[in-house]
Amino acid sequence: MKNSVAKGQCEAWWDVRHDGGRDDTTGITQYLNSVSKYVVSSTVDDPGWEHTSVLRGPLSHEIQAQKSAPGHDMVTTGSITLT
């Protein structure tokens, strides 16, 4: 996953700046800013979004560790496959 694509997607889809830049009547901004998020990248050091962790790999071990932890379902947004 290229970090410029992921960052651009986040900025376009949700107001990650916390400056009230977009009027969100759906509540999705607040929800996404409050939940845990994971970025798969070998180049991103600081994703710049609260509650976001960078997974570096081996990816199968990283994902298994997250699935083993307490919490809710995991979903993939912005990627069809992760290799």
The domain spans of the chain are: 3-68
Q: Is the pTM of this model over 0.85?
A: no
Model confidence over 54-81: pLDDT tens digits? 988 788 898 888 889 888 788 877 776 7
**What does the pLDDT read at residue 7?**
54
Residues in Cβ contact with 63 at an 8 Å cutoff, skipping those fewer than 6 apart: 55, 74
Task: From 44, 83, 43, select the one nearest 63 (Cα to Cα).
Answer: 83
> Is the peptide bond between 58 and the residue preceding it cis, with omega within 30 degrees of 0?
yes
Element (H, E) at 8: helix 3-13
Once rounded to an integer, what is the mean pLDDT over residues 8-18? Answer: 53
